[in-house]
Amino acid sequence: MAIPHLPDYPLPTASDLPDNRAAWQAEASRSVLLIHDMQEHFIGFYGDDSLLVQRLIENIVRLRDWCHEQGIPVVYTAQPSDQPPSDRALLNDFWGPGLTEADPGRQAIVSALTPAEGETVLTKWRYSAFQRSELRTLMQEWGRDQLLITGVYAHIGCLATALEAFMVDIQAFMVGDAVADFSAEEHHMALNYVASRCGCVTALGDLVGDTSNQPSRDWLRHRVTRLIDGMSLRWRPTRTCWTMAWIRFKS
């Protein structure tokens, strides 16, 4: 019932993103940045050496810095460690108890994304960041009607937030290389749904004016190393060289 161990996979590049049905354009004067559930609890399921997480955080930091420069408000969501079963309600049936007071440190937002003084942190109770929160009210007070969505997980809370934004006439922009998911397949499913049904999908580079955001050498090296770890050298007497034989693969 709990979230499983989550694999590394390459974040999509701009060329991987789906075509948008709507022709919306993100505007700094209309936007709010949402950093969704980037807590130690949720990020921890990727493991300690996840290059996916490293790149995700780097991309969100870049976008947040750009938003600060543009005067775009930044809002965070974080689930509480004190979640009585009555408050979690149906979430218990899908994910168990979630965050608990037994390990309150896992409630913290990852250190690289620690909210700055004056930034808003909303307590998160349901998939959508709008549920039981002041997000819509704050956006109305700020005169903003566009929401840039980053964080985890793309096909759960990020998607639910984008869909509810559509329901209340807020234009949602899911930043395709600044969200992460259970798998590449679910990541792309979320992007495809948003692009075709309730919002727009954009790339970090398209927002900040840098289109060079490609997979790093570190990520590629890490991935190749994991593939090699799933192989073994075997001597084949009919040949004069060592050949690589697949005898096992580590997921």
Q: Where are the beta strands (DSSP E) in the chain?
A: 31-36, 74-78, 120-123, 146-152, 171-180, 200-202, 232-234, 243-245
CB count in 10 Å sphere of residue 84: 9
Q: Which residues are within 8 A (CB) of 112 and not within 5 positions of it... i.e. 6 or more apart?
A: 57, 61
CA atoms within 13 A on the CB side of 217: 0
Cβ atoms of 79 and 43 closer than 8 Å: no
The yes-or-no answer on residue 82 being catalytic is no
CA 181/CA 178 separation, integer angstroms: 10
Distance from chain centroid for Cα 64: 14
**Catalytic one among 8, 16, 19, 37?**
37
Active-site positions read: 37
